[in-house]
Amino acid sequence: MLNRIINIWRKELMDSTRDRRALRQSIIIPVVIGVFYAVFNPILASSISSRAQDPVSIPTQGVENAGQDFTEMLAQFGITLEPFDGDLEAAISSGEQEAGLIIPEGFSSNIDSEQPTNLVLLMNQTAGGPMGGSFSTERLDLAIKTYNQQVSIARVEKRDLDPALLLPINLDARDLASPEQLAGRFAALMLPILVGVIVVQGGLFIAIDVTAGEKERGTLEALLLTPASDVEVLVGKLAAVFTLSGLPLVLTFLGFWLGSNLLPSSISDGAVLPFSIVIVAVLVGLPLTLFINMILMIVSVRTKAFKDAQSAATPVIFGCMIPGFAAAFVPPTSVIAHIIPIYGAAAVVGDMATSGGVVNAPAILLSVTGSFIGAAIAFVIALRFFNRERLLYSA
């Protein structure tokens, strides 16, 4: 029995690896996907952060009313007031300008005489498109608050009072995150999603090829004429699918780790992603891959053509991706939730990234157990379809 299973496994591997182009894609694409997921978010965040720190020029009416102290304070935050002639409100409404400032007459004199005064900020959040715009409301707000504090302290000192009266609480903020935890900020979001994507994509085409593909090519009949039993045919094909889908899984997470740790320090802040995350991702991903392989084969064997199987597998693809997204944005609140297939494995990887590589043994054990239970149930269901009559005539 074992020899026949091995022979079927070798036969399916040889058939699948003869297509050199598909083989290269199955090896190269997972690495590219892993690297892309690893570097995309940090680069995007670094770009947004750098844009938030770039100097800002705000079209302003009434620049002459600002006063030197106020102008210098804004300059410390990289904000320059640019005189604007014309209808500022119309320019902002049309999207020609993103924001503008109106400084009323008497602004500086009101501050000097300790009278309240106002600034008018006009904005159009749609100007510049989704990724457009460099104006930071937060930066202007911080600059004005700092200036208010500076003026308040000057007024208190003028009255021979202790400036500390204005600051009863001083917040000493300290970031205790380790370099591994800093590196896991983005990995905690991307890795759970990557688990859901790669486990279904890695085995999709090979699972279809050894079932519906062989039906379409007419080579399945020759296999069924051998002494191999239905169970041996199923196990042999499953072993081939698992072998060829396990490799992309390993390469994807290895690519993610390499991509994360090869980022310039200006982007990654010198943070390093622990290799233990890759090990655990593969550990929980391989049993999950076995479960998903079974599902894909069950779906594919009930079709007669490759394209039909691709269409039939679409719900499976979404069924794997959605739990990955859920694990990224809604982590489990109880360790028992890790037993849920796909969601549990994705959550384990996300937890490790968040904790900086700390291994949660009970969560890993539950995740692996859940995947094996799911694979066992799927195997029993698959046995109903992997008999000679259904393999040849089911649709």
- Residue 163: CB atoms within 10 A of its CB come to 13
Q: Which residues of the chain have a pLDDT value below 70?
A: 15-54, 126-136, 167-186, 263-272, 388-395
**pLDDT of the residue at 390:** 61
What amino acid occupies position 201? Q
CB atoms within 10 A of CB 202: 29
**Domains delineated in the chain:** 2-43+181-393 (no CATH), 54-164 (3.40.190)
Tell me if residue 98 falls in helix, strand or coil.
coil
Backbone phi and psi for residue 296, each to the nearest 5 degrees, phi listed first = -65, -40
Q: C-alpha angle with apex 45: 44 to 47, nearest 5 degrees?
A: 65
DSSP for 23-38?
Answer: HHHHHHHHHHHHHHHH
What pTM, to 2 d.p., does this model score? 0.65
Output the pLDDT for position 365: 93
For the purposes of burial, counting CB atoms within 10 Å of the CB of 319, is it exposed (0-12), middle (13-18) or buried (19 or more)?
Answer: middle
Q: Label the pairing between strands 120-123 and 99-102.
A: antiparallel
Alpha-carbon separation of residue 214 from 12, 221, 251, 257, 297 (angstroms): 10, 9, 27, 37, 12
Evaluated on CA atoms 328, 333, 337, 338, the torsion sign reads positive
Measured distance CA(122)–CA(333) in Å, rounded: 43
**Tokens representing residue 213 in the block:** 């593909």
Nearest Cα to Cα of residue 246 among 194, 196, 296, 283: 283
- Looking at residue 131, its pLDDT comes to 44
Q: What does the pLDDT read at residue 176?
A: 58
pLDDT of residue 385: 79
- The owner of tokens 């297939």 is 341
CA distance 240 to 207: 9
Q: What angle do CA 84, 85, 91 make, to 5 degrees?
A: 75
Output the pLDDT for position 376.
93
Identify residue 80 by its one-letter amino acid code: T
pLDDT digits (tens, 9 = 90+) for 314-331: 888 888 888 888 888 888
Which alpha helices (H) appear in 209-229, and where do they start and end? 214-217, 220-224
Angle between helices 361-385 and 343-355 (to 10 degrees): 160
pLDDT score of 304? 77
Instruction: Using only the alpha carbons of the chain, give its radius of gyration.
Output: 31
